[in-house]
Amino acid sequence: MWKGNALTRSSTRSALVVAATLLAGVIAPTAAQAQVVPDAADAAYVMGYFKESLNGGGNVNAVHFAVSNDGLEWTPLNNNDAILTPTTGTRGIRDPFLYRLNDGTWVVLATDIPVGGDFTRPNPNIHVWTSPDLVTWSTDRLLNVNWTNPASYSWAPAVHWDPVRRAYGITYTTVPQGYSYSVINVVYTTDFVTTTTPAVFHDAGSGILDSHVVTGVGGQNYLYYKSNATLRLVGTRSSSVEPRSFREYTSGVVENRCTEAPTLVKSLTSNTWRLWGDTFCPNAKFDLWQGDLLSGNWTKVSRADYTAPLNGKHNTVHPVTTADRDRMVARYGTTSWNRLKSYNFPGHYVRHASNAGVVTEQPFEPFQDSQWRIRPGLSNPSAVSFESVNLPGRFLRHQGFQVVLAANDGTSGFAADATFTREAGLADASWSSFRSVNYPTHYLRHSNFALRVDPVSTATDRADATFHIGH
């Protein structure tokens, strides 16, 4: 522990936690052990998130993970079910944050709020999990980061390394005593068991929330957050990482008044940075920008170019090695279902609605209507058939050239109507198109957002008949 400005607060059961941590092989680095794992080893990404659906039926306040090779197309692990389930505090989390420590081990922090909980209820605690390898996790524990503000909350914890203090900064949103608006606070820790006294890290003069600090880029350090005054994801920077040293250098980005939770991540193949933004109106929808962190110039990324996990909320993205990615996939498995995204309406997905095949803009309810198991074709196993996840035994088939969801009646006619040959996308060969096996000049396409099988001749037809298979 430090002397002087000492580490003065401990999480409950700290002795048990330290013992359990040592037994698990997760040892927090001392200042002398601070060696950064080389970025050159990273070749993939992991995303953490919790889940919310449009009407709340799909809300899961637990930590989920997805993996990606390019940081754009994401495959949920564990069938998009929870991987870290909170067992203490309110037994619910929001706003997870994943960070690789200097010794190569990992920590996940999260806000302590249950499903349906009161966001503004005073709570000084956050959740902490640690891991040596992203698959062996410590038990869930609470860390009190905000004991000097007994009347406020502790939202959206995030981690950065402070090379001067030789410690990790934990930033979070709160309303300090004497304030009438939220700021970004900070505590420092070397072990995620004890912390320094909370202090204001950034005060914008009006309410702000959801911080992400990125250090050591072009000789500068960057802090992004949501401004309640401008409703934008604002960028600030500083030549140090000292509290109150950051100054705005870009007004940032915004999609709508509900855009929040900025998440910065650098491309592994270029100098490009990406900026993720969450939204709560509606839920279950991420926006993405890419650009230059140094200049703060950002360009919106088309939804055709990325697919976030279904119902994902307030994400955290971190580069990982291929070994990390493969270990997570081997331990948790991937996802047994798929979604089909429209090429020319890339926010829209194939779904069934009142037994009709349609494409609808996400988010919608029931969200399960867009989940499909892609089976070997009922009439030709080298082709495919689309079985509904939430209505198993029912398949997309054409009937009078309209596409409907119907129960498999076991006849050869049904099997033929429900079977499609997958081909390179007619509008984009990296996507997919699906040709009817019993009407081989007809393709699955949408027209006025209704699914049909039709001949394809124009550029619009080809775009309507092109889909991305993802999750």
Distance of CA 82 to the CA centre of its chain: 13
Residues 71 and 206 in one domain: yes
Q: State the distance between the two ends of the chain, measured CA to CA, in whole angstroms.
A: 46
Q: What pLDDT sits at residue 55? A: 87
Residues 258 and 393 in one domain: no
Sign, Cα dihedral of 435, 439, 442, 446: negative
Who contacts 57 (Cβ-Cβ below 8 Å, separation ≥6)?
365, 366
Of 363, 350, 368, 444, the C-alpha closest to 402 is 444
> How many distinct structural domains can be found in the chain?
2
d(CA 414, CA 407): 9
> Is 3 part of a structural domain of the chain?
no
Q: What pLDDT sits at residue 92? A: 96
Residues 283 and 347 in one domain: no
Of 214, 203, 261, 254, the C-alpha closest to 237 is 214
- The pTM score is 0.90
3 state DSSP class of 343: coil
Q: What pLDDT sits at residue 207? A: 98
Of 152, 86, 148, the C-alpha closest to 118 is 152
Domain ends where: 300, 316, 332? 332
Q: What pLDDT sits at residue 211? A: 98
> Is 4 part of a structural domain of the chain?
no
DSSP for 227-277, written as a single string: ETTT-SEEEEEESS--TT--EEEEEEE-SSTTEEEEEEEE-SSSS-EEEEE
> Is 466 part of a structural domain of the chain?
yes
β-strands 141-144, 125-131 pairing: antiparallel
d(CA 153, CA 78): 31
Burial 134-151 (b: 16+ CB within 10 A, else e): bbebbebbbbbbbebbee
Calculated CA dihedral for residues 264, 266, 267, 273, nearest 10 degrees = 70
d(CA 5, CA 266): 34
Q: What pLDDT sits at residue 39? A: 61
d(CA 278, CA 275): 10
> Is 55 part of a structural domain of the chain?
yes
Residues 372 and 277 in one domain: no
> Is 1 part of a structural domain of the chain?
no
Contact (CB, 8 A) for 222 and 264: yes
Residues 116 and 173 in one domain: yes
CATH number at residue 436: 2.80.10.50
Distances in Å between the Cα of 280 and the Cα atoms of 126, 194, 284, 364 are: 22, 33, 8, 14
CATH number at residue 316: 2.115.10.20
Print pLDDT tens along the chain (471 aa). 232 333 333 333 333 333 333 323 333 333 333 333 336 699 999 999 999 998 888 899 999 999 999 999 999 999 999 999 999 999 999 999 999 999 999 999 999 999 899 999 999 999 999 999 999 999 999 999 999 999 999 999 999 999 999 999 999 999 999 999 999 999 999 999 999 999 999 999 999 999 999 999 999 999 999 999 999 999 999 999 999 999 999 999 999 999 999 999 999 999 999 999 999 998 889 999 999 999 999 999 999 999 999 999 999 999 999 999 999 999 999 999 999 999 999 999 999 999 999 999 999 999 999 999 999 999 999 999 999 999 999 999 999 999 999 999 999 999 999 999 999 999 999 999 999 999 999 999 999 999 999 999 999 999 999 999 999
> Is 2 part of a structural domain of the chain?
no
For residue 59 the two structure tokens come to 């809300």
Residue type, 299: T
DSSP for 356-425, written as a single string: EEEEEESS-SSGGGG-EEEEEPSS-TTSEEEEESSSTTEEEEEETTEEEEEE----HHHHHHT-EEEEE-
d(CA 454, CA 441): 8
Residues 271 and 398 in one domain: no
d(CA 40, CA 321): 9
Dihedral class, residue 228 (left if φ above 0, else alpha if ψ from -120 to 50, else beta): alpha
Q: What pLDDT sits at residue 40? A: 64
Of 390, 412, 466, 394, the C-alpha closest to 435 is 466
Domain ends where: 332, 366, 401? 332
d(CA 296, CA 284): 26
Q: Radius of gyration (Cα) for the chain, nearest Å? A: 24
Q: What pLDDT sits at residue 57? A: 84
d(CA 431, CA 350): 14
Residues 260 and 379 in one domain: no
d(CA 149, CA 177): 6
The domain containing residue 361 runs over which residues? 339-470
Domain ends where: 267, 299, 332? 332
Q: Do you know the residue count of the chain?
A: 471
Residues 291 and 389 in one domain: no
Residues 318 and 396 in one domain: no
Residue 358: what are its φ and ψ, rounded to 5°? Answer: -140, 170
d(CA 86, CA 315): 17
Residues 326 and 345 in one domain: no
Burial 120-130 (b: 16+ CB within 10 A, else e): eeebbbbbbbb
d(CA 144, CA 163): 23
3 state DSSP class of 60: strand
Residues 229 and 351 in one domain: no
Residues 393 and 255 in one domain: no
